Structure 1
Amino acid sequence: MNQKKTIQPPPPACRFDALLSPTPRGARLARVLAVDWLRTRGLPHRVTEAAEQIVAELAANAATHGRVSGRDFLLALLAEADACVLRIEVTDTRREGLPRLRPPTPDADSGRGLLLVEALADRWGVGLGPVPRKTVWVELDLPRP
């Protein structure tokens, strides 16, 4: 008797995308939507908290430094079970002024966001393309099952 062996496909990657206005309200909405999506994935609390802070910083940067009138920014979250990684991407339409780590002056009111991202991320970077877009991406490692 031959039994057919059923092969289960790998679980699909879970993805969330949202176009948001490059305003403080859009940045807040990015954080709220990300937290809601992350909580439904059942990720560890440590990962969810780090991702919430990272999304808040990157979205605020997109609304502040990447703002171009009439052009939204894109928030993308991708949880890849096979790769055990959560990837956060924020894409805006202002290519100039690429983000880079700079030591803030002690009396500065801002300028510490990327330092926080650096501390929380396992990996992060900036990708260019297509003109005039840039994407700041962050990866957080997930525990292996």
Structure 2
Amino acid sequence: MSEPLGGMILYPVPESVGRARRWFRTFTESLHLGCSVVDDCVLMVSELVTNAVLYGRADGPWRVRVDWYRVGGALRVEVHNPGCPAHVRLRSPSATEAHGRGLLLVDALADEWWSAPSRHGGTLVAFVVHQAFKPD
């Protein structure tokens, strides 16, 4: 059973990436997450919101949605955009390429991650960090 903890809706503009980092850190302060968990999650949120802004597509105005949930002792974060789920993939960029490492970072830091069609339409990319919460 997952417990909704918070979320944010962002405009699909580059400035939303920094806003997502700041808001996620602020909104999760009261959740008693481990320090390294917060830092890792902020980085992963940043990467996924960047991808959502870069690759989301819609015929009309659209937004990036970020939601987070408690699932037992784990934290699950979901990023939704109107892009095509089939286009989410890990890349193997060369050392000279400036882009293409976002999902590699998520893959390295998260205990699990996946992409799927979003319940809001478009694409969902989610990650889970097990044992994210400090013991009471």
TM over 0.5: yes
The question of whether the paired residues in 2 share the 8 Å contact of 1:95 and 1:132 is answered with: no
Q: How many residues are paired up?
A: 132
Cα RMSD for the two superposed structures: 2.0
Task: Give TM-score, length-normalised by structure 2.
Answer: 0.87
Instruction: Specify which structure has the higher proportion of helix.
Output: 2
Structure 2: gaps (5+ residues): none
Amino acid at match of 1:87: R
The question of whether the paired residues in 1 share the 8 Å contact of 2:75 and 2:132 is answered with: no
Q: State which of 32, 40, 53 in structure 2 corresponds to 1:50.
A: 40
Superposed counterparts of 1:1-145, under 5 Å:
13-68=3-58, 70-80=61-71, 83-95=72-84, 98-130=87-119, 132-142=121-131, 145=135
Q: Which has the higher contact order (CA 8 A, sep 6+)?
A: 2
Once the two structures are TM-superposed, the CA of residue 132 in structure 1 deviates from its matched residue by 4.0
2-side partners of 1:67 and 1:24: how far apart?
15
The question of whether the paired residues in 2 share the 8 Å contact of 1:31 and 1:55 is answered with: yes
Task: Give TM-score, length-normalised by structure 1.
Answer: 0.82
Structure 2 counterpart of 1:6: none
